[in-house]
Each structure stands twice: as C-alpha cells, then as structure tokens.
Amino acid sequence: MSAQPTAGRYPGFAFDVLARDSGSRARLGRLETPHGALMTPAFIFCATKAAIKAASPRDLREVNADIILANTYHLMIQPGAGTVERMGGLHRFTGWSGPMLTDSGGFQIFSLGQGGASDEIKNSRHDKRTPLLTKLTEEGATFRSPRDGAYHTLTPETSIAIQRQLGADLIVVLDECTPFHVDRDYTARSLAMTHRWADRCLAEFERGQDGRQALYGVIQGGIYEDLRREGAEFAASRPFFGHAVGGCLGDHKDQLYDIVGYAMEPRSDARPVHLLGIGGIRDIWEGVALGIDTFDCVTPTRIARHGWALQRQADGHRINLRNARFAEDRDPLDPECACPACRDFSRGYVHHLLKAGEILGIQLLTVHNMAFMTRLMATIRGALSTGRFAAAKRAWLS
Amino acid sequence: MSAQPTAGRYPGFAFDVLARDSGSRARLGRLETPHGALMTPAFIFCATKAAIKAASPRDLREVNADIILANTYHLMIQPGAGTVERMGGLHRFTGWSGPMLTDSGGFQIFSLGQGGASDEIKNSRHDKRTPLLTKLTEEGATFRSPRDGAYHTLTPETSIAIQRQLGADLIVVLDECTPFHVDRDYTARSLAMTHRWADRCLAEFERGQDGRQALYGVIQGGIYEDLRREGAEFAASRPFFGHAVGGCLGDHKDQLYDIVGYAMEPRSDARPVHLLGIGGIRDIWEGVALGIDTFDCVTPTRIARHGWALQRQADGHRINLRNARFAEDRDPLDPECACPACRDFSRGYVHHLLKAGEILGIQLLTVHNMAFMTRLMATIRGALSTGRFAAAKRAWLS
C-alpha cells in the first residue's frame, strides 16, 4: 500500500532510500532534518533529561553519534517546557546542534499506572520515580509528578505543544501504551483511542507548524497481528513524516520480531520507521532486516554505569570491568575500537576506577559504549551499501 | 642560609627562579621534571586515587593544567602499588604524561589515629573511610585499612619504596603529621622523629635512585615558630630537591600565614617549596607572597561536586549553581572564562543538570573550576613577570 503523500508538508525534512537488501526488508537511507542529515540505519542515544548520562555533546561528536532523543515526560517535570523554550530550545540548551527527537511523554506515564507496563516491556526493575497515573479518559491522561506530587495532564494537544516548546526536529504523537497483560478487547479499544489521539495530534501539529519539526505517528496494537496491521494502516493513511513502532513488543525475542514484522507489513516505503526503546545488538540486526531505520535504547549508556563495556567477541557482546580478571589487564576495553577511552586507557585502569568509585570510570565506559553502537550501525550501513547484509548479520550474531 | 648543594643529584630535574617580586618573597620559577617543565607558582590538581574526580587527562590538558598529584595511602590500599608498577607506573596507568607528585601516605594515616587531625587541619567532616592508626613507633606506623580491615605498616623505607613503584616525578618523605591540639613537647619530640625518618627516607631514596624521581623534604613543627624554623633548617641541611610545608597550619587564616612564614624564614632559594593541602584563593595569593611555589588542594574539584563554580567577582569567589536564581540564566558559569564548560553551556543548563542529578553537571563544573585555578596561577605568574604582583594581589582580594 502507499501512504498518504506528505510532499511539501515537511519542507526542511527528507527521507531517501539509497539501497535495499535483496534478502530482507533492510535498507540504507538518508534522513535529513533542519539540524543536519544522517545515514540510516542509525542509533538514537538517550539524553533522557536533556543530557546523555556522563557524556557531553563533544563526546557524542567524537564517537560519530548522529542523533539523540530527550524525553518529554522528564523535561515537562524538570526543568519544565517553558524553561527549555525560554533558554532557546533543546538544541541551544544542551549544546547538541545535530538532529534530535522527543517522544510524546506517554510511555512514562502509562508505565506505572497500568500495572507496570514498563517492567513488562523493558524487563527492568521499577524506577521509584515513576509517575502515578491517576486518570485516563478520552481527553487525556492525568498523573502525579513523583518530584513534588503535583498533578499534570497530558493530552494529544499538550504533548504536541510541549514538544513544540522543546524544539526537537522529530516529534511523536501521544499514544496509549498498553501493557502486556491486557486482552485483545482492551487493546482494540485502546488502539482506536490512540488513533483518535493521533488525529488530534496532527491537528495541533498543523496549527503550529512552522517547518522546524516533523511528526511521527505511532503504530500500536499490542501483540495482536491484526491490530498491529490496523495500526500500521492507520499511520500510513495520515500525513506523518515517519512512523514509530511502540508499546508492548511481546515477552520474548521471537515474539518481538513477529510483532515488529506485523507492524511493518503494510509499509510505507516513503517514510522512516523508528523502533521505540529497543536496542539490543541482536534486536538491531533483526530490526534492520525487518525494515527498521532507527533505534533508541538506554542500554548502552546504562550498562556503562554498571561497569559493562560492549565488545563484539564477548559472550552477550559485553564484559564487566569490575571482574577481578581485568585488574592488571593492559589491553584496551575493546581491541577493535579506536574511541578516546580505548585509545588512552587500559582495562586495568578502568577496573581500578570502578573499584575506587571514580566517576571517570563511568565516563570512559559511556564513551566506549556509544562508540561501539555507532560503529555497529556503520558496519550495518556498510554491509547494506555493498550488498553483504545477510553475511554481515550472520557473522555478527554467530 | 644556604642549603646543602644538590648538584648532580637530580639530573632530570631543575628549578630556576626567573623573577622576584620587590615587595615580598613571591617569585616566578621554572620547574623541570622528566615528564616536562612547568612555570611556578603553579597549582597541583588532586588525582587522589589516580584520577581527577569527574575529569580526564584530556580535560586537564585543555584547561592548561601543569601537574597533578596522587595519594600514596589511597593507592597502596587500592589497587596496590604492585599493580600500578606492573601496569607501567602512574603515568602510563592514568594516561597523564605530564609532571606528577605523590605524597608519603602519612597525612591520611595520622588524620584519624591521633584524634582527627584531618578535621582540624582541613576543617572538614570525617570521611568514614579514614584509616585507623593502631600503632606508632620509631619504626613506623601501623594502620587498619578501611577497605578490608587488613593491617598495613608504613615506614620511611616502605613509603619511599611504594612511591618508587608508583613512579611519580616528585615524591615526599614520610613524616608524622601532628594534630592541632598537641602541645609543644609532643610536637618537639615528633619533629625529632620526623627528622630521623627523613634521613631514613633519604637513605632509601638513594639506594634506589635511578634519576626518574626527585625527593621533597617536609617541614613540620606545628604552630611553634622555633620548631618550624628548626624543621626548615633541618630540611635545608639535607640534599632534598624541594621542600614541602606540612602538618598543622593553625586554626585561622592569619595563623596559617604566620606558620608558613616561619617555615620559609631560613629559606633555600635553590629549591622549590610546596604548601601541602592548601589552595583557597586568598591562601594562594598570601602563600605566593611568602615564597611558596606550588599548592595543592581538593577544594576546586570537590566543591564542583557540590554545585559550586569558582568565579572572581562572586562573594567568596564562588557561586552555587543549585540556586534557583540560575534556572533561566543564559550566561556562562563565569563570564571571564573561556573553558569548554563556559564556552558551550549556560548556568541555566548546569542548574538543570544538578537538579536532575546528571553527572554531566559535575563534569562541567569540575572542568571550569580547574580552568579557573590555572587561569588564577597564570595571572599570578603574569603579574610577577611584569613586576605588578602587589597590585594584582590587591585587585584580586579586594
């Protein structure tokens, strides 16, 4: 099927497919924004609260990061969208002058209120600072801030208005993010509301459209094949610049790939597709094979703070530098890497920094893990441009 | 008085006085080590556990830092001097290729065992990880590690041997660091032992001398003028490369300056003099006026971790970025500064980072505070080289 044309609607933006894999839906693309262009598939680093944890914009540039995202929920709570706007918007505020995305805020407010969707979806422990959803209606969602107990309401209109104040290049419609345990009926009703919300988001987006931002629709539908297809068809029928696959993505890897596959089936080749919150190494290779263009995930920077360095050869593609076997290891974190951390420091030194509680250890692992991810994406793009995607995928995952 | 000549004893090292202030003992100097030369007066940044907290060697180079120190006590506990040696020594281990100093380890082990000397001297709260001194004899000091309860003995010989394993350019003799509350008799007996220890350190230093390191003597004597003079005369009578003024430096600023003055009275112009653990801004100007060549202090980097930015115009030369008045302040941390933090970020952004608990806030404040200190020292050196030291000191402290 072909998507509703968006020509002229997003003047500072473009997405072009430059090469396609013959054996899968993988594709090499180029995504242009008012803050620069990037090649896809690409990884979007999470600057949740308008900062990459333990890294600066210069670190990002040094490891060839293309694009970052910030979370609308976190920023509306602290420092507030008005402050970010008065400080000149996210690019000026953070010092990151490249492409940037914000999400809608929905994921965070639905992650606790509906019984721990975040836990289910991300398989992580509860964050004590998760908001409490107090009311969900057709109008929107009301929640209490874990910061000061204040009530906030997020509606399709306010989500878009806040994202306009934040000023990222790519913004996302508000959706209800359903947890894993809900049944098909709930999911179907939720999907219908998510679609009505999407139309309200589009209307609000168009009211304030000034060419600086492009809007992504979200494909929901839980674990149900027909609902995911319905979600994808709906998205394609509306003039979104891109699509994001969100919500519950199953309880094991194969189900994740199936669900993403359902969402990609009625695809609109003219649009970039983002997979929300998924960024494991195998997930990225499989996601690319299914046609995903961009990924985001906190994992590379989060595991750095727990002592892990990403490494191609290691079990699970990671080693933990807290392990005593690294105490006198003079090798770099990753022998294949030329990032500033691998260039200047040894595993033994990073081991010492972690044992001694030195922040520098986290800084070095964060930089390395970001460099690893950009190198992985460059490897994928290189394979796509030379017609060797399937072989490269096999080699990496074997 | 003139000090015992050291010609030929420290082949890779030199100290030359290039200019003198006409109204004080302040002087412009050049200190050469096997890892490079630096102009003095200079500030030595504290890489206590072989890392500047929240900063990398590259950050140090970017803010024109000249020299750093690491603490023997911390490194003998973790990762152990043997590990540092097998990893190629501190320069290789840390990636800092410039001049470096280690202390003797004495300050930390005496700071709790004798009733909180550290608290008195540094006016700081107890660190729960302070070691417990269990035995002090002519031979040396035995203490329990706060890390694992293991007993360690530090003697003049082991302190030098450990510092040799660590491999800094400038190393320091082991001394007993007496707390403020001890009387003149105790201080006099302690001073005599400190001098016997100094001779044992010299003997051990000469046994292993390979030209890579230069030894500093320590001038003790508590708050007593005659004992400080005795300490200074003793140091000058021995072939140390430099002197360090240590121990109890009084309970208020004027007493500090008096005591430093006593220690500087029988000065040896041929040698650089370091003031241990003192680095307040007024202290530096007054110390330079008394003839001090180098300073070290954790304050610039420690207060960064509590949200403070050093700034010339501010009350107490610092502002706290946690203050709500900075929430939407678009100015840089310090309008006089061109460091990477001041160049790229606003006070409002740093305020947000601190409120949000982002490590990047600490990183930016640390870089700025280091840049501030190197700029202060450059200002002092510039004033000395143009004969305007007194005027510059008045202008800064008014």
pLDDT in tens, chain B (398 residues): 466 777 678 999 999 999 999 999 999 999 999 999 999 999 999 999 999 999 999 999 999 999 999 999 999 999 999 999 999 999 999 999 999 999 999 888 887 555 444 444 444 444 455 678 888 999 999 998 888 888 999 999 999 999 999 999 999 999 998 877 789 999 999 999 999 999 999 999 999 999 999 999 999 999 999 999 999 999 999 999 999 999 877 778 889 999 999 999 866 678 999 999 999 999 999 999 999 999 999 999 999 999 999 999 999 999 999 999 999 999 999 999 999 999 999 999 999 999 999 999 999 999 999 999 999 999 999 999 999 999 999 999 98
Q: Is B381 helix (H, G, I), strand (E, B) or coil?
A: helix
- DSSP class of A160: H
- A8 φ, ψ to 5°? 85, -15
The verdict on B50 touching A (C-beta cutoff 8 Å) is yes
Q: Which residues of B touch A355 (CB under 8 A)?
A: 78-79
For chain B, which domains are there?
43-297 (3.20.20.105), 304-387 (no CATH)
Beta strands at A318-320 and A308-310: parallel, antiparallel or unpaired: antiparallel
| Residue A91 vs residues A87, A370, B308, B373: alpha-carbon distances, Å | 10, 20, 25, 30
In sequence order, which residues have a C-beta less than 8 Å from that of residue A185 and are 6 or more positions away?
Answer: none
Question: Which strands, in side-by-side order, build the sheet including B36-40?
Answer: B14-20, B27-33, B36-40
- The pLDDT of residue B125 is 43
Across the interface, which of A88, A340, A346 has its CB nearest the CB of B87? A346
Q: How far apart are CA A339 and CA A333, in angstroms?
A: 10
Catalytic (active-site) positions of B: 103, 296
The verdict on A363 touching B (C-beta cutoff 8 Å) is yes
The verdict on B349 touching A (C-beta cutoff 8 Å) is yes
- The pLDDT of residue A125 is 43
Residues paired with A153 in a beta bridge = A142
Element spanning B23, H or E: none
pTM of the model: 0.94
Q: Where are the alpha helices (DSSP H) in chain A?
A: 57-62, 72-77, 81-86, 89-94, 106-113, 117-122, 156-166, 184-208, 225-236, 253-264, 281-289, 299-304, 340-344, 347-355, 359-385, 389-397
Across the interface, which of B55, B328, B345 has its CB nearest the CB of A83? B328
The verdict on A94 touching B (C-beta cutoff 8 Å) is yes
Cβ-defined contacts of A186-191 (< 8 Å, 24+): A187/A220, A187/A221, A187/A222, A187/A223, A187/A224, A187/A227, A188/A224, A188/A227, A190/A220, A190/A222, A191/A220, A191/A221, A191/A222, A191/A227, A191/A230, A191/A231
Q: How far apart are CA B166 and CA B169, in angstroms?
A: 10
- The pLDDT of residue A7 is 67
In sequence order, which residues have a C-beta less than 8 Å from that of residue B225 and are 6 or more positions away?
Answer: B258, B262
Task: Identify the residue among B56, B62, B342, B353 best suited for mutation to test binding to A, counting A beta carbons within 10 A and taking the highest.
Answer: B56
- A204 φ, ψ to 5°? -65, -40
Q: Which residues of A touch B55 (CB under 8 A)?
A: 360
pLDDT in tens, chain A (398 residues): 466 777 678 999 999 999 999 999 999 999 999 999 999 999 999 999 999 999 999 999 999 999 999 999 999 999 999 999 999 999 999 999 999 999 999 888 887 555 444 444 444 444 455 678 888 999 999 998 888 888 999 999 999 999 999 999 999 999 998 877 789 999 999 999 999 999 999 999 999 999 999 999 999 999 999 999 999 999 999 999 999 999 877 778 889 999 999 999 766 678 999 999 999 999 999 999 999 999 999 999 999 999 999 999 999 999 999 999 999 999 999 999 999 999 999 999 999 999 999 999 999 999 999 999 999 999 999 999 999 999 999 999 98
- The pLDDT of residue A227 is 96
Omega before B41 within 30 of 0, i.e. cis: yes
Q: Which two tokens stand for residue A246?
A: 């969100």
Min Cα–Cα distance to chain A from B49, Å: 7
Q: How far apart are CA B78 and CA A304, in angstroms?
A: 21
Let me know how many helices (H) and strands (E) chain A has, helices first. 16, 16
The verdict on B61 touching A (C-beta cutoff 8 Å) is no
The verdict on A50 touching B (C-beta cutoff 8 Å) is yes
Nearest residue of B to residue A330 by CA position? B87
Cβ–Cβ of B56/A360 closer than 8 Å? yes
Omega before A146 within 30 of 0, i.e. cis: no
Min Cα–Cα distance to chain B from A245, Å: 29
| Residue A138 vs residues A192, A207, A272, B209: alpha-carbon distances, Å | 11, 21, 29, 80
**Amino acid letter, B72:** T
Active site residue A199: no
Across the interface, which of A344, A356, A359 has its CB nearest the CB of B359? A359
The verdict on A304 touching B (C-beta cutoff 8 Å) is no
- The pLDDT of residue B70 is 98
Question: Which strands, in side-by-side order, build the sheet including A151-154?
Answer: A132-136, A141-144, A151-154
- The pLDDT of residue A120 is 44
- The pLDDT of residue B396 is 94
Q: Count of CB atoms within 10 A of residue A14's CB? A: 14
Is A291 in contact with A26 (CB distance < 8 Å)? yes
Nearest residue of B to residue A351 by CA position? B79
- The pLDDT of residue A131 is 72
Q: How far apart are CA B381 and CA B398, in angstroms?
A: 19
- The pLDDT of residue B244 is 97
- The pLDDT of residue A124 is 44
Q: What ipTM was reported for this prediction?
A: 0.94
Total length of chain B:
398
